[in-house]
Amino acid sequence: MNSEYSKVRSIRRPVSLGKRSQRSTRTKKKKGGDEEKTQGATKKSLFSHRAKNETNPEETEAFANICRCLIEHRWYHGVMPRGEISTLLEDEGDFCVRKTTERGKPIVCISVKCQKEVRHFPLVFENGQWTLKNLIKTRRFYEVVELLNALVTEKIALSGAILVRAVPRPDYYIPHSDISLICKLGEGAFGEVWKGSLKRHEDGKAKKAEEKSAAPSSAAPSSAGSALSGNSEKGKSRLYVAVKKMKGNATKAMTEEFVMEAKLMRQLVHPNIVTVYGVAPSEEPLMIVLELAGNGCLKSYVAKYQCPPDQLLQFTADAARGMAYLSSKLVIHRDLAARNLLLGTFVEVKISDFGLSSSGKTEIKVKQMKVPIRWLAPETLEEGVFSTKTDVWAYAVTLWEIFTRCQTDPYPGLTNQQAKDLIRGDALPMNPPEGTPPIVAKIMEDCFNKNPDDRPSFAAILKRLRPDEDVSAYEPKDQSVTSPVKRANAPSAEQSARSKRPSRK
């Protein structure tokens, strides 16, 4: 870590957050006793007490201006949530400053590692000065950096915690000033996706990330041609990107989930996975900066263009390759569908939307789900279980979407309850669309196996689609570790032996 941050320092003097003239006027005699008493009665801090979730636009904007003054310091981590900050503070005394909320109001706090846990101490900004809530009321500072320096140099204990080393922002933090939003591409329940541009710097990090994300897969057709838009739209100083932006009034839980998605995606580097350039947490709204898929969403693409069967087959192989990579990294996507498959510069599939994904586990069980029912496996409906093999089931549904050219959602004309009944039943839940290549039809049938242990792995699926491609990198090194845990109420061996089920009429 840079030794510059062994103490709290700044290359240039920070912008003052209070009027220096107050120092000289504090001791002056005040005129007009009655007027002084009235002023004292109405004098309040910048953020007076309000009911929970009650905000004042003027106060919110004033506080935003104050936080913008903190951005110049690398120990200020913006709106990053507790969970992410805890991973950055590794040693005793490591600390940083971040923005959060308390009773619905924005505040600034110090997060410090103390006795193997991270503790958080709110700061108070009052009358142009900073202090610590309920800790050192008698000492006030005009700038946060002065307060921090006092805590570090004088080793002032904050309920047992002593500040030792300021931890700088990671390199993947992107300043809001480097991002320009151009037009909105879409939106969901908690966020919006925009086309934007990212300022390039001399260190070339954006360029390296761009080259990595734009590289075609080994099986991409050489005649794929140029992109319709996106990474091919290069300027000398800016890179066109996709920006996932949180909507206003986000809760702490929503912010935590948003950051976890970005954290997971940062670890995934593959031609068939959307690349994350970084996150922008210094101001609100919080944003994730992604590569721009030049050819848009696969669902829209196949519905609009007359894609030949060979190209549809290529899409299925690309999706299997990306999912095989995720499976090898112990990532469960949980929301695989045509709507979450994008097309890059070379019209290659790139898997996106990891908002529901989990990593590091072979199987997870949840009580409440927001995933569309028509892509769920039977064990998910019955037990709330997700695994790589439930992703395999969703892959079969996605194959049906691709070869119907996404003209309708799965199980057309049926209610959700009727779709559930088919998913749980012994028969094949849906037949391959007309014109589906035999190899894809057989893969769909195998992926729709009632017993998850009898479904093929993504590496095996890719090998069947691309026999000449080396899939050894995607195969599990230790089957006992990567195979899903068998459940006590899983179908019996006699039930799983029904490899050929009658098709639905």
* CA separation for the pair 220, 345 (Å, rounded): 11
Q: Where on the phi/psi map is residue 296: left (φ > 0), alpha (ψ -120 to 50), or beta? A: left
* CA separation for the pair 448, 113 (Å, rounded): 49
Q: Which of 335, 421, 470, 478 is catalytic?
A: 335
Count other Cβ atoms within 10 Å, centred on residue 412: 11
User: For 305, how many CA atoms within 13 A lie in the half-sphere containing its CB?
Assistant: 14
Query: Sheet holding 94-102: strands in order across?
Result: 129-132, 117-126, 105-114, 94-102, 165-166
Dihedral sign of CA atoms 382, 385, 389, 395 in order: positive
Dihedral sign of CA atoms 416, 421, 423, 429 in order: negative
8-state DSSP, 108 = E
Residue keyed to tokens 């892509």: 375
Looking only at the bridges linking them, the beta strands covering 191-199 and 179-187 are antiparallel
Query: Sheet holding 191-199: strands in order across?
Result: 179-187, 191-199, 238-246, 287-291, 276-280
> Which run of H or of E encompasses 125?
strand 117-126
Nearest CA to 282 out of 199, 173, 372, 139 is that of: 173
Catalytic residue status for 94: no
Residue keyed to tokens 């590569």: 291
Nearest CA to 198 out of 232, 228, 229, 243 is that of: 243
Q: Which two tokens stand for residue 105?
A: 């109001």
Distance, C-alpha 410 to centroid of its chain: 27
Nearest CA to 260 out of 364, 366, 362, 355 is that of: 355
Positions marked active-site: 335
